[in-house]
Amino acid sequence: MKKLIPLVVLLCAVSSYWGNAAAVQPADDNSAAENGQKPVITAINITNIDRHDDAYAFDVYYEVFCTDADRLIVSVDEEYGARIKEWVFDEPDMVSGVAPNISSLHGVWIDFTAENEYGKTVKTAEFAPGGILVPTDPIISGVLQLHDTDAEICRMEVFGINGTHVATLQEPAQLSELPAGVYIIKYYDRGNRCVKISKTLIR
Protein backbone atom coordinates (compact mmCIF):
# COMPACT_ATOMS: atom_id res chain seq x y z
CA MET A 1 0.00 0.00 0.00
CA LYS A 2 1.35 3.43 -0.89
CA LYS A 3 2.04 5.87 1.95
CA LEU A 4 0.76 9.43 1.98
CA ILE A 5 3.44 12.14 1.88
CA PRO A 6 2.90 14.80 4.63
CA LEU A 7 3.32 18.35 3.30
CA VAL A 8 3.28 21.78 4.97
CA VAL A 9 0.81 22.99 2.37
CA LEU A 10 -1.87 20.68 3.77
CA LEU A 11 -2.04 22.30 7.24
CA CYS A 12 -4.95 24.69 6.53
CA ALA A 13 -8.65 23.78 7.07
CA VAL A 14 -10.44 21.91 4.30
CA SER A 15 -13.72 23.13 2.82
CA SER A 16 -15.70 23.09 -0.44
CA TYR A 17 -14.35 23.67 -3.92
CA TRP A 18 -13.88 27.41 -4.78
CA GLY A 19 -12.87 27.54 -8.41
CA ASN A 20 -10.82 26.00 -11.15
CA ALA A 21 -7.04 26.35 -10.91
CA ALA A 22 -4.87 27.47 -13.81
CA ALA A 23 -4.36 24.51 -16.10
CA VAL A 24 -1.05 23.23 -17.35
CA GLN A 25 -0.96 23.40 -21.13
CA PRO A 26 0.15 20.21 -22.93
CA ALA A 27 3.74 20.35 -24.08
CA ASP A 28 4.66 20.05 -27.73
CA ASP A 29 6.13 16.67 -28.63
CA ASN A 30 7.23 14.95 -31.84
CA SER A 31 5.73 11.60 -32.76
CA ALA A 32 7.43 8.93 -30.66
CA ALA A 33 5.55 5.81 -31.74
CA GLU A 34 7.06 6.04 -35.22
CA ASN A 35 10.49 5.67 -33.59
CA GLY A 36 9.43 2.73 -31.43
CA GLN A 37 9.12 4.67 -28.18
CA LYS A 38 6.58 4.45 -25.39
CA PRO A 39 3.81 7.08 -25.09
CA VAL A 40 4.11 10.41 -23.29
CA ILE A 41 1.65 12.07 -20.89
CA THR A 42 2.22 15.77 -21.52
CA ALA A 43 -0.27 17.25 -19.01
CA ILE A 44 -2.88 16.30 -16.45
CA ASN A 45 -5.32 18.98 -15.27
CA ILE A 46 -7.47 18.38 -12.20
CA THR A 47 -10.22 20.77 -13.26
CA ASN A 48 -12.62 20.32 -10.36
CA ILE A 49 -12.86 18.62 -6.97
CA ASP A 50 -16.55 18.31 -6.12
CA ARG A 51 -17.04 17.44 -2.47
CA HIS A 52 -20.33 15.79 -1.52
CA ASP A 53 -22.67 17.40 0.99
CA ASP A 54 -22.07 14.65 3.55
CA ALA A 55 -18.28 15.39 3.41
CA TYR A 56 -17.47 11.67 3.20
CA ALA A 57 -16.82 11.51 -0.55
CA PHE A 58 -15.76 13.63 -3.51
CA ASP A 59 -15.59 13.49 -7.31
CA VAL A 60 -12.45 14.35 -9.29
CA TYR A 61 -12.82 15.90 -12.76
CA TYR A 62 -9.74 15.67 -14.96
CA GLU A 63 -8.24 16.29 -18.39
CA VAL A 64 -5.33 14.19 -19.68
CA PHE A 65 -3.20 14.98 -22.74
CA CYS A 66 -1.21 12.13 -24.32
CA THR A 67 1.12 11.64 -27.28
CA ASP A 68 1.31 8.33 -29.19
CA ALA A 69 -0.87 6.37 -26.76
CA ASP A 70 -3.10 3.53 -27.93
CA ARG A 71 -5.11 3.67 -24.73
CA LEU A 72 -5.31 5.42 -21.36
CA ILE A 73 -6.19 3.64 -18.13
CA VAL A 74 -7.43 5.72 -15.19
CA SER A 75 -7.47 3.82 -11.89
CA VAL A 76 -8.40 4.93 -8.37
CA ASP A 77 -6.67 3.31 -5.39
CA GLU A 78 -8.25 4.28 -2.06
CA GLU A 79 -6.23 3.68 1.09
CA TYR A 80 -7.82 0.72 2.92
CA GLY A 81 -10.17 0.28 -0.06
CA ALA A 82 -11.27 -3.25 -0.97
CA ARG A 83 -10.83 -2.80 -4.73
CA ILE A 84 -9.40 -0.50 -7.40
CA LYS A 85 -11.79 1.38 -9.72
CA GLU A 86 -10.68 1.55 -13.34
CA TRP A 87 -11.69 3.23 -16.62
CA VAL A 88 -10.15 2.61 -20.07
CA PHE A 89 -10.07 5.07 -23.01
CA ASP A 90 -8.96 4.18 -26.56
CA GLU A 91 -6.77 6.49 -28.70
CA PRO A 92 -6.60 9.09 -25.92
CA ASP A 93 -4.91 12.17 -27.40
CA MET A 94 -7.08 14.20 -25.02
CA VAL A 95 -9.36 12.64 -22.41
CA SER A 96 -11.85 14.47 -20.20
CA GLY A 97 -13.53 12.46 -17.46
CA VAL A 98 -14.58 12.10 -13.84
CA ALA A 99 -13.64 9.68 -11.07
CA PRO A 100 -16.77 9.65 -8.86
CA ASN A 101 -17.57 8.74 -5.26
CA ILE A 102 -14.05 8.68 -3.84
CA SER A 103 -13.78 8.34 -0.07
CA SER A 104 -12.49 11.48 1.64
CA LEU A 105 -11.63 9.69 4.90
CA HIS A 106 -8.22 8.39 3.81
CA GLY A 107 -5.51 8.90 1.22
CA VAL A 108 -6.24 8.31 -2.47
CA TRP A 109 -4.06 7.74 -5.55
CA ILE A 110 -5.32 8.17 -9.11
CA ASP A 111 -3.01 6.53 -11.66
CA PHE A 112 -3.06 7.70 -15.29
CA THR A 113 -1.42 5.02 -17.46
CA ALA A 114 -0.77 5.65 -21.16
CA GLU A 115 0.08 2.52 -23.18
CA ASN A 116 1.19 1.52 -26.67
CA GLU A 117 2.97 -1.52 -28.11
CA TYR A 118 6.36 -0.16 -26.99
CA GLY A 119 5.56 0.34 -23.32
CA LYS A 120 3.66 2.55 -20.90
CA THR A 121 3.97 5.79 -18.94
CA VAL A 122 2.34 6.26 -15.53
CA LYS A 123 1.59 9.49 -13.69
CA THR A 124 -0.04 9.53 -10.25
CA ALA A 125 -2.22 12.22 -8.67
CA GLU A 126 -2.13 11.88 -4.89
CA PHE A 127 -4.88 13.16 -2.60
CA ALA A 128 -4.70 13.64 1.16
CA PRO A 129 -7.75 12.92 3.36
CA GLY A 130 -10.45 15.45 2.58
CA GLY A 131 -9.76 15.36 -1.16
CA ILE A 132 -6.74 17.69 -1.19
CA LEU A 133 -4.40 17.31 -4.15
CA VAL A 134 -0.80 16.75 -3.04
CA PRO A 135 1.80 18.46 -5.31
CA THR A 136 4.02 15.52 -6.28
CA ASP A 137 4.52 16.06 -10.03
CA PRO A 138 4.76 19.34 -12.03
CA ILE A 139 2.92 17.64 -14.93
CA ILE A 140 -0.20 17.51 -12.71
CA SER A 141 -1.99 20.81 -12.09
CA GLY A 142 -5.16 21.62 -10.21
CA VAL A 143 -6.90 22.61 -7.01
CA LEU A 144 -5.01 21.74 -3.82
CA GLN A 145 -7.24 23.27 -1.19
CA LEU A 146 -9.87 25.98 -0.91
CA HIS A 147 -11.64 27.49 2.06
CA ASP A 148 -13.49 30.82 1.85
CA THR A 149 -14.95 32.23 -1.36
CA ASP A 150 -15.54 35.73 0.05
CA ALA A 151 -12.21 36.23 1.80
CA GLU A 152 -10.12 39.29 0.92
CA ILE A 153 -6.58 38.23 0.05
CA CYS A 154 -3.92 40.41 1.69
CA ARG A 155 -0.76 38.39 1.01
CA MET A 156 0.56 35.31 -0.77
CA GLU A 157 3.35 33.02 0.39
CA VAL A 158 5.10 31.31 -2.53
CA PHE A 159 6.90 27.97 -2.23
CA GLY A 160 8.87 25.90 -4.69
CA ILE A 161 7.69 22.43 -5.64
CA ASN A 162 10.13 21.02 -3.04
CA GLY A 163 8.57 23.10 -0.24
CA THR A 164 11.25 25.83 -0.08
CA HIS A 165 9.89 29.32 0.64
CA VAL A 166 10.48 31.55 -2.41
CA ALA A 167 8.72 34.88 -1.81
CA THR A 168 6.02 36.85 -0.02
CA LEU A 169 3.76 38.79 -2.40
CA GLN A 170 1.02 41.36 -1.85
CA GLU A 171 -0.68 41.37 -5.27
CA PRO A 172 -1.55 38.53 -7.71
CA ALA A 173 0.05 40.57 -10.50
CA GLN A 174 3.43 40.02 -8.84
CA LEU A 175 3.26 36.32 -9.71
CA SER A 176 4.30 37.16 -13.27
CA GLU A 177 7.62 38.47 -11.89
CA LEU A 178 8.64 35.03 -10.61
CA PRO A 179 11.14 32.96 -12.60
CA ALA A 180 9.61 30.25 -14.79
CA GLY A 181 8.65 27.14 -12.82
CA VAL A 182 5.95 25.41 -10.77
CA TYR A 183 4.98 27.03 -7.46
CA ILE A 184 2.74 26.28 -4.48
CA ILE A 185 0.93 29.48 -3.48
CA LYS A 186 -0.76 29.96 -0.10
CA TYR A 187 -3.28 32.83 0.09
CA TYR A 188 -3.96 34.62 3.41
CA ASP A 189 -6.76 36.98 4.43
CA ARG A 190 -6.48 39.98 6.78
CA GLY A 191 -6.99 37.69 9.75
CA ASN A 192 -3.83 35.76 8.79
CA ARG A 193 -5.96 32.77 7.87
CA CYS A 194 -4.93 30.57 4.95
CA VAL A 195 -7.99 30.57 2.69
CA LYS A 196 -6.62 29.00 -0.49
CA ILE A 197 -3.71 26.90 -1.72
CA SER A 198 -3.02 26.35 -5.41
CA LYS A 199 -0.29 25.04 -7.68
CA THR A 200 0.60 27.41 -10.52
CA LEU A 201 2.83 27.08 -13.57
CA ILE A 202 4.74 30.28 -14.39
CA ARG A 203 6.12 30.37 -17.93
Which residues have a Cβ under 8 Å from the Cβ of 137 and sit 6 or more positions away? 123, 124, 125
Question: Which of 18-22, 128-132, 136-140 is least confident?
Answer: 18-22
Q: Is 147 helix (H, G, I), strand (E, B) or coil?
A: coil
**pTM of structure:** 0.58
**Average of pLDDT values for 15-19?**
36
Mean per-residue pLDDT of the chain: 77
Which residues have a Cβ under 8 Å from the Cβ of 80 and sit 6 or more positions away? 106
CATH of 147-203, one of 1.10.3470, 3.30.70, 1.10.10, 2.60.40: 2.60.40
33-143 CATH: 2.60.40.10
Rg of the chain on CA atoms, in Å: 17
pLDDT given at position 4: 42
**Tens digit of pLDDT for each residue in 158-195?**
988 777 889 999 988 898 899 988 887 888 888 887 77
**Tens digit of pLDDT for each residue in 31-85?**
444 567 999 998 888 888 888 887 789 999 999 999 999 999 999 999 887 788 9
Of the candidates 104, 120, 147, the one whose C-alpha atom is nearest the C-alpha of residue 41 is 120
CA distance 32 to 146: 38
CA distance 190 to 93: 44
**Average of pLDDT values for 100-124?**
92
CA distance 21 to 147: 14
Which residue did the predictor score with more confidence, 99 or 23? 99
Of the candidates 82, 84, 86, the one whose C-alpha atom is nearest the C-alpha of residue 113 is 86
Q: Is the pLDDT of residue 10 over 60?
A: no
**Average of pLDDT values for 101-115?**
92
Q: Is 132 helix (H, G, I), strand (E, B) or coil?
A: strand
pLDDT given at position 201: 78
